[in-house]
Structure 1
Amino acid sequence: MAKPAEKAFYRFLVLFFNCLLTFGSYFCFDIPSVLQDQFQGNLTCVNSTVTNGSDCVEGLGMSPQQYNLLYAIYAWTNAVVVILAGFLIDKLGNRFGVFLFSFLTVLGSAVFALGSHFKGTAYLLPLMLTGRLIFGSGNGSLTIVQNRITAFWFKGKELALAFGLTLAFSRLGSVLNFFLTQRVEAHFGIQWTLWGGTLLCVLGFLAAITVSALDKMGMRQLGLEGLIQQESKKVRFQDLRYLPVRYWLLVLTIMFFYNGVFPFVADASKFIQDKYSGYSQREAAYIAGAVYDSSLVLSATVGILIDSVGLRGVFAVGCAVLTLPVFALLAFTFVPPLVSTLWLGVTYSFAAASMWPSIPLVVPQATLGTAMGLATSVQMIGIGVCNLIVGQILGTESSDVKIPLERWQQVMFFMLANTIGCIVSSLILNIVDKRQGGTLNNTTKRSQETQEEPNEPPETSPLLGEENDHRAIN
């Protein structure tokens, strides 16, 4: 009689709770984007006065540079922490990671919310930056554990679909943030809105407990737990030097693409209100959130498509090329911004479903956490630098008035430059991949992956099926 862990329903049960790990943290991540006016608003608005032709918005009194620093410090923290986190996950296991990092998201979001109670004092910015720092150290690392669990249970079966569903659940948090946060803030104020985000992070912590139990029980039923721990002990930090060229090109491709997504979304609501007439803060937030709406709707379908046809390298080039018109439209035209944000959401869906699931195909499973951590680190370094550059372009004065359109145009030029960088790195990736066997562009349904399911005997399990000599991955 087959054990429960050998059946498909068990894999998808693990996947469901694994998806919930980051639902709340993704909701929290972009709360500042929706409430950018409140974060940069005046400390007081006496009798709803009007300043320089704009309605006064009462808020926390941050400058654009300070606001963008909230995103930059999140990215920098990820860049530093995720490398060590990925290595520790490889050494100590998934259960260690999900407990620690989900707890850090709860703690970080709580400190961030607490900081908002100190508006008008010298404590506000340090507390909120500290909260984002702790939150970033947990959320980025939690994504690595999430990807590692997904890769183990689905490697060789529905891998892109599983990654797509994981992204869809995460983006559901982002979408609900863009739809609900402004309304919640209007009724309860910014402080209680931020505490509501903390409560959603607690949901992720409860999911962490559940997925940890399911993962442990499944490993025991399959007889893999002891063998996985034994294999993980062989992982050394020095093994990073054996990571193949294709891996590093994937990392660069991911970094350049995400440089054009996250920094844009962080300021998109303000950009839409400044450039296009007739949009309220709520409407601008909805339009900015359309990037994630598209991703939410398309991720599973795109995952199934890529699982069926392969061609991950080709898709990586295609989504980068098709992103160019997005920023061109935003920079040079007054085409309704919803066209661009929906378009970016489509290309983002294909990028996420083709780029990230390619990493398990070019590195051994035993070092996947370390490889994912390093990739996330480089990605977050790029995003953090981009957030700072955008903040410098937009200026350092309080945003009571519209930011000049020429500054926004410079921001779009900067996004275009990153997209071109993504095109170049993805083209080189395809050339190198073709010379080394064309793993990424195999056209069969499973891309000729020979790894077995988790319910196979230990000697052919996904974790142990790779060569122990890491030099073989070159």
Structure 2
Amino acid sequence: MKPEQWRWRKVVLFLDGVFVIGIYFFIDIPSALQVEFVSDEVMRCHGNESMLTRACCETCLGLSSRRYSLLYATLYWGSAVLSLMSGCVIDRIGNRVSTVLFIILASLGCNLFALAGTPYLRNTSAMFPLMLTGRILLGFGNGPIRIVQNRVVSYWYAGDSYVAVGFVTLTRRLGAILNFAVTANIAVHFGFTWALFTGAMLCSCGILAVLAMVSLDFYGSKKLGLEKKRRHGHHSSVNRKIDCGGLVALAITTLSIPSLLMLAYCPNIPPVILTFTLGIIQLCIVTINGKITIDLVPQSVFGTVSGISLCVTRILMGLVNLAVGFIIQSTDEVDQKAYQKALLLMTAISTLAVSFGIILNILDIRNGDGVNQRFVRTKCMKHADTDDREGLLSEDIKQS
């Protein structure tokens, strides 16, 4: 029996996606509560009313835009550092031990961050360092977990990984969507502290899903007799054809450029629509890239390759977040102009990504390395037809 014939693999996929909902819920809590994080002492309870809530702001943390951006920058840099080192480790110790280790690390980071927001530490000298420590630990867990998730998919869904990768990516976005839908309401009705610990508890619940997934994964591998093959790098889809994933990813990435420009300069278009569009673009790109990685990279070095890729991505994301914080805080113009500058920076990065994508796709089609197999097959068919015609012509000449 092959992995794709085992009926419980769908449950493994479900748990592989669900256990990260709490992590991505917690990652964007600072965005959902941005007013409370960024508002300064003037907006606290010193006889003044909050300009945004029209009420006394007891929970405002007074972080500057740079410090607020640093919460995301440290998350991505922590993720980048450990992703680079953990990729090879994951290939050696396997999916099960890695998943348990990194979900515990991420949960620890979430709880430390929530603890820093309690009334006992809020607005003290220890608050921000503890928050940064929590974000770094969350990044340490989040980056490698993405590698393990895709590695699980590459093992159980090697032949039909588009749907599996799409589901895992969708659950990550689901955590962020759930955060923006409920966190602010929790803060209003139950308090700022409860909003933070709700995310921390949700992240900690992921440990239960991981334990269930690990148990099923062990049972399935043992039942199918594939444990030995897994340890020696079994991978059934290295040469699987993936048509033209590179060109599709390039086309979708190109759509982000007009979307960002419209978000910056077209106030008549609802920002929700454009933000939703950018989210769909990101979902498609991540799914296609995950599929390509699964199809081209052997299981034995999957973690190492994914770790290098994720490390570069997270370093760039951290730098972008830090740059956006500097742009917003250093500008003397109105907020709209500052955000327009930040969106222009993102547009420039997207344009650079499209340029590199064009070069890579041209090289791939010329070399026939596997990302755009549809064009490689077409080229081979043309060469085959030409060779057949030349062969028939030479036979006719000989007979005459």
TM-score by length of 1: 0.72
How far has the Cα of 1:227 moved from its partner?
3.4
Q: Is the 8 A contact 1:22 1:204 kept in 2?
A: yes
- Indicate yes or no: 2:49 matched with 1:49: yes
Q: Is the 8 A contact 1:17 1:207 kept in 2?
A: yes
How far has the Cα of 1:326 moved from its partner?
1.1
In structure 1, C-alpha distance between the alignment counterparts of 2:369 and 2:231, rounded to whole Å: 31
| C-alpha distance 350-442 of structure 1, shift in aligned 2 (>3 A) | same
- The aligned counterpart of 1:143 is 146
In structure 2, C-alpha distance between the alignment counterparts of 1:90 and 1:53, rounded to whole Å: 50
Q: Is the 8 A contact 1:42 1:56 kept in 2?
A: no
| C-alpha distance 212-92 of structure 1, shift in aligned 2 (>3 A) | same
Q: Is the 8 A contact 2:109 2:133 kept in 1?
A: yes
**Corresponding residue to 1:381 among 315, 327, 330:** 315
* AA matched with 1:342: F
- Residues 332-371 of structure 1: matches in 2 within 5 Å? 332-334=265-267, 335-371=269-305
How far has the Cα of 1:213 moved from its partner?
1.0
In structure 1, C-alpha distance between the alignment counterparts of 2:333 and 2:193, rounded to whole Å: 25
Superposed CA RMSD: 2.5
- The aligned counterpart of 1:74 is 75
Q: Pick which of 40-49 and 338-347 moved more.
A: 40-49
- The aligned counterpart of 1:329 is 262
* AA matched with 1:432: L
- Residues 404-423 of structure 1: matches in 2 within 5 Å? 404-423=335-354
* AA matched with 2:172: S
| C-alpha distance 336-219 of structure 1, shift in aligned 2 (>3 A) | same
In structure 2, C-alpha distance between the alignment counterparts of 1:93 and 1:349, rounded to whole Å: 27
Q: Is the 8 A contact 2:150 2:294 kept in 1?
A: no
How far has the Cα of 1:21 moved from its partner?
2.1
- Counterpart secondary structure, 1:323: helix
* AA matched with 2:27: F
- The aligned counterpart of 1:319 is 252
Q: Is the 8 A contact 2:231 2:300 kept in 1?
A: no
| C-alpha distance 396-116 of structure 1, shift in aligned 2 (>3 A) | farther
- Residues 430-449 of structure 1: matches in 2 within 5 Å? 430-437=361-368, 439-443=370-374
| C-alpha distance 30-405 of structure 1, shift in aligned 2 (>3 A) | same
| C-alpha distance 133-52 of structure 1, shift in aligned 2 (>3 A) | closer
How far has the Cα of 1:367 moved from its partner?
0.3
* AA matched with 2:253: A
Question: What runs of 5+ residues in structure 1 fail to find an aligned partner?
Answer: 233-306, 445-474
Q: Deviation per CA, 1:381-423: give whole Å up to 9, x if none.
A: 00000011001101169xxx99532221110110100110110
How far has the Cα of 1:180 moved from its partner?
0.5
* AA matched with 1:45: C
Aligned residues: 364
- Residues 209-358 of structure 1: matches in 2 within 5 Å? 209-231=211-233, 310-334=243-267, 335-358=269-292
Q: Deviation per CA, 1:115-137: give whole Å up to 9, x if none.
A: 11212210010000000011110
Identity %: 35
**Corresponding residue to 2:130 among 127, 135, 160:** 127
- The aligned counterpart of 1:17 is 15
Q: Is the 8 A contact 1:37 1:57 kept in 2?
A: no
In structure 2, C-alpha distance between the alignment counterparts of 1:315 and 1:227, rounded to whole Å: 33
Q: Is the 8 A contact 1:64 1:391 kept in 2?
A: yes
Q: Deviation per CA, 1:112-171: give whole Å up to 9, x if none.
A: 001112122100100000000111101111111111001111111x21110001111222
* AA matched with 1:383: M
* AA matched with 2:187: E
- The aligned counterpart of 1:154 is 157
Q: Pick which of 48-57 and 170-179 moved more.
A: 48-57
Q: Deviation per CA, 1:168-202: give whole Å up to 9, x if none.
A: 12221111111101000111222111111111112
Q: Pick which of 184-193 and 61-70 moved more.
A: 184-193
- Counterpart secondary structure, 1:395: helix
* AA matched with 2:309: A
- Counterpart secondary structure, 2:8: helix
- The aligned counterpart of 2:97 is 96
In structure 1, C-alpha distance between the alignment counterparts of 2:337 and 2:62, rounded to whole Å: 24
How far has the Cα of 1:435 moved from its partner?
2.3
Q: Is the 8 A contact 1:311 1:442 kept in 2?
A: yes
How far has the Cα of 1:353 moved from its partner?
1.7
Q: Deviation per CA, 1:350-407: give whole Å up to 9, x if none.
A: 211212221123322210011111111111000000011001101169xxx9953222
Q: Is the 8 A contact 2:241 2:373 kept in 1?
A: no
In structure 2, C-alpha distance between the alignment counterparts of 1:201 and 1:327, rounded to whole Å: 31
- The aligned counterpart of 2:63 is 62
* AA matched with 1:41: S
Q: Is the 8 A contact 1:99 1:208 kept in 2?
A: yes
In structure 2, C-alpha distance between the alignment counterparts of 1:387 and 1:324, rounded to whole Å: 18
In structure 1, C-alpha distance between the alignment counterparts of 2:145 and 2:328, rounded to whole Å: 32
| C-alpha distance 119-141 of structure 1, shift in aligned 2 (>3 A) | same
Q: Deviation per CA, 1:296-315: give whole Å up to 9, x if none.
A: xxxxxxxxxxx998421111
- The aligned counterpart of 2:178 is 176
- Counterpart secondary structure, 1:9: coil
Q: Is the 8 A contact 1:6 1:222 kept in 2?
A: no
| C-alpha distance 201-79 of structure 1, shift in aligned 2 (>3 A) | same
In structure 2, C-alpha distance between the alignment counterparts of 1:6 and 1:231, rounded to whole Å: 17
* AA matched with 2:45: C
* AA matched with 1:133: I
* AA matched with 2:183: T
| C-alpha distance 116-169 of structure 1, shift in aligned 2 (>3 A) | same
How far has the Cα of 1:433 moved from its partner?
1.7
- The aligned counterpart of 2:237 is none
How far has the Cα of 1:47 moved from its partner?
4.9
In structure 1, C-alpha distance between the alignment counterparts of 2:123 and 2:149, rounded to whole Å: 39
- Counterpart secondary structure, 2:7: helix
